[in-house]
Structure 1
Amino acid sequence: MQKTFITTTAALFLLGLASTAQSQQLQALGVSGSFNIARLHSGQSAYKLGAVTIDPQFDQSNDETGNGITLFGRWQVGRGGWYAQPEVGYVSTLATPIGIAYDRGSFSYASQQIRHLDARLLAGYQAGPLRLFAGPSLGYHLRNTDRYQDTNPDVQAVVDALAEPPARVQAALQAGTGVSIWRLDINARYEWGLTQYRRTIQFQQQQHYLHQNLQQIILEVGYRFYRAPALAD
């Protein structure tokens, strides 16, 4: 599945580059790094799994951080400042803690990281150095191998259920603004998860709802290693 996704993503990206390059002007090619602030948003109240209570809203602050790296190309579309920007990237952030309570106490569980490969197709408008852009993102979420260990068997069973991977392929929407200075792109983006990050968990051979949506604030600096001659200083 992972190889299929990567192959398909690469093929679509290259196809997009080729088809765009045939009819439009290449403006820039570059790489960017980002500081990400992520949240697994949930509107679900606390509920019991056996002898353990889990609370998806235990921590809904936007303070789980991470990083990302992106390769991008930018093509002028028509006349004026309109452009298309296909991207491929990798993102890794901390997960939002879930509250776990049982007869001997309580704690927050967030041992996993959220890691995904992304393919994005953004459309934007540039006026002078300022840019506005938005577009869809398709992410392939990678499995985590680290597992939390607890001596309480009831707690361990719940943690094992929570540790199961989310939906592997997820869609999102990004929108943001940026400024281009010399060869640098400085951007701020917001990402909304269109696919639920997690819909259910399996506990004691039964399905239980656990609705979570991934949201991110992305602060990004990019370097354009190629610029069209008209854009060069």
Structure 2
Amino acid sequence: MKKAVLMLTLLAIVSMASAQDRVAVGLKAGFNSTKIKLSDIPDGETVKNEANNGFLFGAYGRLRLVGNISFQPEMYYAKKQSEFKGISIDGQTPMSFDVTYHTWDIPLLVNARLLDLKVASIYGLAGPVASFNAKSTTDFPDYNGVENTNWTFQAGLGAEFWRFTADVRYEWGMKDISKAQIGQKTDVLTFAVGFKLFGI
């Protein structure tokens, strides 16, 4: 799976290099707010999960396909954090622990320009994201760690002005990220700004 995603990204870069009149490349950075949802909580335990802030930085490309539709692959490094609070199975002992993930994320997005205001444009984004775990840490006892690969789906809106972009996205987890299979899926709200180095 990892090889397939990397090959697809490489093909996208090659395609962009051969279509320089329709391509753009830029850098991006931002922050995220991550909540890890638990759907399979053991009986007798009460757990509340809270979102924590993280960051991201990386690069993006854009290949204009037809009309206002473009293909926008990205690659960025992200830190995602979530906090869990609750009462253990004995009904008395409070629990509190943090989970932190460091990932390499590769969104494969469709970019659709929705509105052109001459001085700025409004666009929509949607598509799958391949997320590769670089490192995970937690103070949760007996935690088995996370899967090496995770799939999510992003959708959002953004604005572009001159060489600058700014967008906000919501990201849904599509599979359990825990090796223990306890129903852990990520919900991530992301805000990022970008600077176009060259291109359309």
Rg larger in structure:
1
The answer as to 2:132 corresponding to 1:132 is no
Structure-2 separation of matches of 1:43 and 1:12: 32
Say whether the 8 Å CA contact 1:24–1:77 is kept in structure 2. Answer: no
Residues 43, 102 of structure 1: alpha-carbon distance in 2 compared, 3 angstrom cutoff: closer
Structure 2 gaps of 5+ residues are none
Structure-2 separation of matches of 1:191 and 1:31: 20
> What letter is aligned with 2:177?
Y
The answer as to 2:200 corresponding to 1:210 is no
**Percent of residue pairs bearing the same amino acid type:** 22
Equivalent in the alignment of 1:95:
82
> What letter is aligned with 1:117?
W
Equivalent in the alignment of 1:142:
134
Structure-2 separation of matches of 1:45 and 1:166: 17
Equivalent in the alignment of 1:195:
175
Residues 73, 147 of structure 1: alpha-carbon distance in 2 compared, 3 angstrom cutoff: closer
- Pairwise CA distance, 1:12: 3.0
Q: For residues 101-128 of structure 1, what are the alpha-carbon distances to aligned partners after superposition, in whole Å with 9 as ceiling and x for unaligned?
A: 3767323111x31111111211121132
The answer as to 2:138 corresponding to 1:160 is no
The answer as to 2:95 corresponding to 1:107 is yes
Say whether the 8 Å CA contact 2:176–2:182 is kept in structure 1. Answer: no
Say whether the 8 Å CA contact 2:165–2:195 is kept in structure 1. Answer: yes
Structure-2 separation of matches of 1:211 and 1:190: 19
> What letter is aligned with 2:152?
A
- Pairwise CA distance, 1:190: 0.6
> What letter is aligned with 2:148?
R
Residues 147, 123 of structure 1: alpha-carbon distance in 2 compared, 3 angstrom cutoff: closer
The answer as to 2:39 corresponding to 1:43 is yes
Aligned with 1:66 (options 54, 61, 83): 54
Say whether the 8 Å CA contact 2:41–2:182 is kept in structure 1. Answer: no
- Pairwise CA distance, 1:26: 3.0
Structure-2 separation of matches of 1:27 and 1:147: 41
- Runs (4+) of structure 1 moved beyond 6 Å? none
Structure-1 separation of matches of 2:93 and 2:151: 37
CA RMSD of aligned residues (A): 2.5
> What letter is aligned with 2:48?
F
TM-score, length basis structure 1: 0.73
The answer as to 2:200 corresponding to 1:220 is no
Structure 1 gaps of 5+ residues are 49-53, 149-158, 202-208, 229-233
Structure-1 separation of matches of 2:176 and 2:95: 25
> What letter is aligned with 2:100?
Q
The answer as to 2:106 corresponding to 1:119 is yes
- Pairwise CA distance, 1:189: 0.4
Count of residues paired in the alignment = 194
The answer as to 2:60 corresponding to 1:77 is no
SS at match of 2:83: coil
SS at match of 1:44: coil
Say whether the 8 Å CA contact 1:64–1:95 is kept in structure 2. Answer: yes
> What letter is aligned with 1:114?
Y
- Pairwise CA distance, 1:22: 3.5
